[in-house]
Amino acid sequence: MRAIDVARMLGIPSSTVRNVSASIRKDRRCHVKPKLGRPFTVNTRQTRGIIKRRIDRNDGLSLNKVASDLGIARSTVQKIVKKELNIHSYHISRGQYLSDASKASRLEKSKKLLAHFDLRRLSDVIWTDEKIFTIEPLPNRQNQRQLLPKGDNKSPKRRLASNRLFPKSVMVWGGITATGKTPLVFIDRNVKINSEVYQKTVLMDNLLPWATQHFAGRPFILQQDWAPSHGSKSTIAVLDAHFPGYLGKDLWPASSPDLNPMDFSVWGHLESKISGSSYSSVDTLKDALQKAWDDIDVDYCRRTADSVIKRLKACVEAHGSNFEYLL
């Protein structure tokens, strides 16, 4: 093949082809011209040592600040941290504060609950809870973004996530079992959930009719936290009369939202479905919550309820402390 044909194929001058060809004919090989000086890199043992010592002193430090202090690119710091030091970035886990007394109580009662569910079916438990939802959900500061041309970040085009000091809200009560879910009960903000309201609106008007039909007369187990309206003498009398299988204070530990499916899963699921939107009224918020609740299927309920045993075992393993890292 002629030099001019090779040059056209490779898109290079024909003189380059002739020079390379002459070099190969002369020495039977093609020489690569070495670069002058030693290769430059900031990924040195000294740099890695500095970054490692800083992380050992403060594992929450900013990689941007490290890069700025050392005068190197953030991407280089990230590469050193991940590939050289084998350190990875994780979101900070959130959990409730637990005193030593709370940890001891959780450990004791988690063991009792595991023994209890050796004799009773977990699928018979109705897991319940209340939560307040507002018409102005907080924005997701980590992932909610706005795409703007460069320079417009300091212009009126920049959106502002704002909330009223006291936005309108609604209290929501709900419950799930491994085989279904209760009605969603809305309690307006101006209604105080005292013992009377809890007994009538929640227990007698909604939960009992639903449970009677759902379990078809079979025994069931009610789980609730022990808020004042849930543990008053009059409420205990209603529970003894109509919900005899409820988990008493001797079984259900206080300060344990991480053991209640409504807390560790369901409410977060509903929030994710309605997040990022502001609602014009409490009624539109209720409609959105009701739709999200209706969309929850039995498979989700079963998976969520079945995970309680795993969480109880993790609580025991953590000696009553926060245990999310064990899951």
CATH number at residue 71: 1.10.10
Give me the mean pLDDT over the 158-180 stretch: 80
For residue range 275-292, list pLDDT tens digits in order. Answer: 877 788 999 999 999 999
Structure tokens at 138: 């907080």
Assign 99 a pLDDT band (cuts: 50, 70, 90): very high
Say what the pLDDT of residue 1 is.
73
Say what the pLDDT of residue 23 is.
77
Assign 76 a pLDDT band (cuts: 50, 70, 90): very high
Say what the pLDDT of residue 39 is.
58
30: in domain? no
155: in domain? no
Give me the mean pLDDT over the 137-152 stretch: 62
Query: CB count, 10 Å around CB of 229?
Result: 19
Q: Are residues 195 and 312 in the same domain?
A: yes
Structure tokens at 326: 């064990």
262: in domain? yes
Say what the pLDDT of residue 159 is.
65
Q: Are residues 87 and 120 in the same domain?
A: no
Residue, of 5 and 64, whose pLDDT is higher: 64
Say what the pLDDT of residue 257 is.
95
Q: What share of the chain is helix, strand, coil (3-state, %, to 5)?
A: 50, 10, 40
224: in domain? yes
Residue 85: domain span: 41-92
Residue, of 166 and 25, whose pLDDT is higher: 25
Q: Are residues 113 and 87 in the same domain?
A: no
Residue, of 149 and 274, whose pLDDT is higher: 274
- 77 CB contacts (<8 Å, ≥6 apart)? 51, 63, 66, 67, 70
Q: Are residues 107 and 198 in the same domain?
A: yes
Structure tokens at 185: 């009960």
For residue range 220-274, list pLDDT tens digits in order. Answer: 999 999 999 999 999 999 999 999 999 999 999 999 999 999 999 999 999 999 9
Number of domains into which the chain is organized:
2
Q: Are residues 78 and 198 in the same domain?
A: no
Query: What's the CATH number where 297 sits?
Result: 3.30.420.10
For residue range 8-66, list pLDDT tens digits in order. Answer: 777 788 888 788 788 777 766 655 566 666 555 788 889 999 999 999 999 888 999 99
Say what the pLDDT of residue 37 is.
61
What is the residue-averaged pLDDT of the chain?
88
The answer, yes or no, to whether residue 162 has pLDDT greater than 70, is no
Say what the pLDDT of residue 276 is.
73
Q: Are residues 105 and 238 in the same domain?
A: yes
Assign 191 a pLDDT band (cuts: 50, 70, 90): confident
Assign 144 a pLDDT band (cuts: 50, 70, 90): low
- 152 CB contacts (<8 Å, ≥6 apart)? 158
Q: Are residues 128 and 239 in the same domain?
A: yes
Q: Tell me which of 92, 108, 131 is where a domain ends.
A: 92
Q: Tell me which of 92, 125, 159 is where a domain ends.
A: 92
Q: Are residues 178 and 311 in the same domain?
A: yes
Assign 166 a pLDDT band (cuts: 50, 70, 90): low
Percent of the chain with pLDDT over 70: 88
- 21 CB contacts (<8 Å, ≥6 apart)? 3
238: in domain? yes
Q: Are residues 117 and 231 in the same domain?
A: yes
Assign 149 a pLDDT band (cuts: 50, 70, 90): confident
**Taking a C-beta distance cutoff of 8 angstroms, is the pair 262, 128 a contact?**
yes
Say what the pLDDT of residue 279 is.
86
Residue, of 116 and 1, whose pLDDT is higher: 116
Q: Tell me which of 92, 124, 155 is where a domain ends.
A: 92
CB-count burial class (<10 Å; 0-12, 13-18, 19+) for 223: buried
Q: Are residues 237 and 295 in the same domain?
A: yes
Give me the mean pLDDT over the 146-153 stretch: 69
Say what the pLDDT of residue 286 is.
95
273: in domain? yes
Q: Are residues 183 and 280 in the same domain?
A: yes
263: in domain? yes
CB-count burial class (<10 Å; 0-12, 13-18, 19+) for 29: exposed
Q: Are residues 80 and 114 in the same domain?
A: no
119: in domain? yes
Say what the pLDDT of residue 91 is.
75
